[in-house]
C-alpha cells in the first residue's frame, strides 16, 4: 500500500512538471497495426480482424501527433513486450514518453534530469539516492560520455575502433558493453548520459550532423540502471522506410515474427514532421530506484506472477 501511494505521488510529480513546461498530455491507442520493428523487442499479437499488436512503445502514434501540429506532448503509457521478465522487466509496464518539436537532444536531456530530480524529491529521496549499496548524487547537470569514449576508458578499445566494431561484430560490441562498460557506469557516483551511439543502433534516431558514424541517441544510467532511451528524431521518410525494410530482413534472418510497416506513420513523415527530439523513460524503474527497491515488482500493484 505504501509503495503504491508513493508511486501515485511520482506520477503526480511527473504530470506537474510537464504542465509547467507547456506539454499536452495525450493518450494514443494500445492496439496498433505495427508495434515497431526493433530487432530486440517482441510484441504480443491480438486476435482481431486484421493483424493487430499491443504497443511496445507509443512512438509512431505520438510522432503522428507532432506531424499534425502538436508541438509538445507526453504520455504515461502502458507498454507490452513479450519475453521480458525480471527485476527490471515486466511484460506490461509504464513508459513515460515525450516529444518536443523544434528542439534537440540537449533540451530533452534537461527534461530528463528534471524528471529524475522531481520524482526523487516527491519520494523523499532528496538529492541522493542509494542504488546497489552506493550513494548516487542527483546534482545537475548529469555528465555526458560518448559510447566511443566509454569503450576507450573502460573496455580498452579506442573510440574509433569501438564505433567500427558496432558494424563489424555486433555481438562482441554488446558483450563489451554489458561486461565492461555498464559495470563501470554502475560504479559512478553520478547519473551519466551515454550519448552518440554508433549508427547501426540508431533505431528511429537521426544520424549526427557532422559525424554520420554515430547517431543522436542517448541513454541515462543511474546506479547501473538504464532508465531511458532518447533520440534526436529521424524525420526523413525515405531513410525511415529503408531502415524499416532492413529491420524486417533482420527479424526474418533471426527467425523472429516480421511485423508490418506502419504506413500511416510513414505518411505522417511524408506530410512533414518537424525536427524534434524525444525520450522514453521507464517509470517503474525510476520509482524503484528512488525507493531503494531491488525489483520493479515491488512498485507494481500486480507484478506478473500475481495475475
Express each pLDDT in 266-295 by its tens digit.
Answer: 999 999 999 999 999 999 999 999 999 989
* 219 has pLDDT over 80: yes
- Domains contained in the chain, CATH given: 2-143+190-306 (3.30.930.10)
Mean pLDDT value of segment 56-81? 98
- For residue 180, the 8-state DSSP code is I
For residue 115, give the nearest of 17, 193, 25, 220 by alpha carbon: 17
* 50 has pLDDT over 70: yes
Supply 43's cell numbers. Answer: 510484441
Express each pLDDT in 2-31 by its tens digit.
Answer: 889 999 999 999 999 999 999 999 999 999
Express each pLDDT in 87-121 by its tens digit.
Answer: 999 999 999 999 999 999 999 999 999 999 999 99
Contact between 52 and 99 (Cβ < 8 Å): no
Mean pLDDT value of segment 289-304? 92
Supply 84's cell numbers. Answer: 521480458
* 191 has pLDDT over 80: yes
Give the confidence band of 307 by pLDDT, cuts at 50, 70, 90.
very low
pLDDT attached to residue 67: 97
pLDDT attached to residue 125: 86
pLDDT attached to residue 131: 86
Q: Which residues contact 205 (CB under 8 A, 6 or more apart)?
A: 197, 215, 216, 217, 231, 232, 233, 234
Mean pLDDT value of segment 212-232? 97
What is the SS3 assignment for 196? Answer: strand
Contact between 52 and 101 (Cβ < 8 Å): no
Tally the C-alpha atoms within 13 A of residue 129's C-alpha that lie toward its C-beta: 30
Mean pLDDT value of segment 33-53? 90
DSSP codes of every residue in 247-290: HHHHHHHTT---PPP-HHHHHHHHHHPPSEEEEEEEHHHHHHHH
Express each pLDDT in 149-173 by its tens digit.
Answer: 999 999 999 999 999 999 999 999 9
Share of the chain above pLDDT 90, in %: 91
pLDDT top residue among 126 and 227: 227
pLDDT attached to residue 133: 82
Q: What gap in Å lies between CA 274 and CA 69, rounded to an integer?
A: 9
pLDDT attached to residue 306: 58
pLDDT attached to residue 305: 64
Amino acid at each position: 500500500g505504501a509503495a503504491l501511494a508513493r508511486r501515485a505521488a511520482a506520477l503526480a510529480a511527473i504530470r506537474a512538471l510537464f504542465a509547467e513546461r507547456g506539454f499536452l498530455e495525450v493518450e494514443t491507442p494500445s492496439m496498433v497495426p505495427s508495434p515497431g520493428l526493433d530487432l530486440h523487442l517482441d510484441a504480443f499479437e491480438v486476435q482481431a480482424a486484421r493483424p493487430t499488436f499491443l504497443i511496445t512503445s507509443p512512438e509512431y502514434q505520438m510522432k503522428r501527433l507532432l506531424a499534425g501540429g502538436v508541438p509538445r506532448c507526453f504520455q504515461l503509457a502502458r507498454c507490452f513486450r513479450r519475453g521480458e521478465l525480471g527485476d527490471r522487466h515486466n511484460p506490461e509496464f509504464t513508459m513515460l514518453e515525450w516529444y518536443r518539436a523544434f528542439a534537440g537532444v540537449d533540451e530533452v536531456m534537461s527534461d530528463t534530469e528534471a524528471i529524475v530530480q522531481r520524482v526523487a524529491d516527491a519520494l523523499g529521496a532528496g538529492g541522493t539516492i542509494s542504488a546497489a549499496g552506493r550513494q548516487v548524487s542527483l546534482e545537475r547537470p548529469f555528465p555526458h560520455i560518448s559510447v566511443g569514449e566509454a569503450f576507450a576508458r573502460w573496455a580498452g578499445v579506442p573510440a574509433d575502433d569501438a564505433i567500427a566494431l558496432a558494424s563489424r561484430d555486433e555481438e562482441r560490441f554488446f558483450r563489451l558493453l554489458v561486461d565492461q562498460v555498464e559495470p563501470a557506469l554502475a560504479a559512478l557516483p553520478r547519473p551519466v548520459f551515454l550519448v552518440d551511439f554508433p549508427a547501426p543502433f540508431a533505431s528511429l534516431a537521426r544520424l549526427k550532423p557532422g559525424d554520420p558514424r554515430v547517431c543522436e541517441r542517448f541513454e541515462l544510467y543511474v546506479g547501473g540502471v538504464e532508465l531511458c532511451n532518447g533520440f534526436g528524431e529521424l524525420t526523413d521518410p525515405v531513410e525511415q522506410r529503408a531502415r524499416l525494410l532492413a529491420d524486417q530482413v533482420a527479424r526474418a534472418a533471426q527467425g523472429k515474427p516480421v511485423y508490418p510497416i506502419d504506413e500511416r506513420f510513414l505518411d505522417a513523415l511524408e506530410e512533414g514532421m518537424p525536427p524534434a527530439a524525444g525520450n522514453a523513460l521507464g517509470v517503474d524503474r525510476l520509482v524503484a530506484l528512488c525507493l531503494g527497491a531491488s525489483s520493479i515488482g515491488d512498485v507494481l500493484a500486480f507484478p506478473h506472477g500475481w495475475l
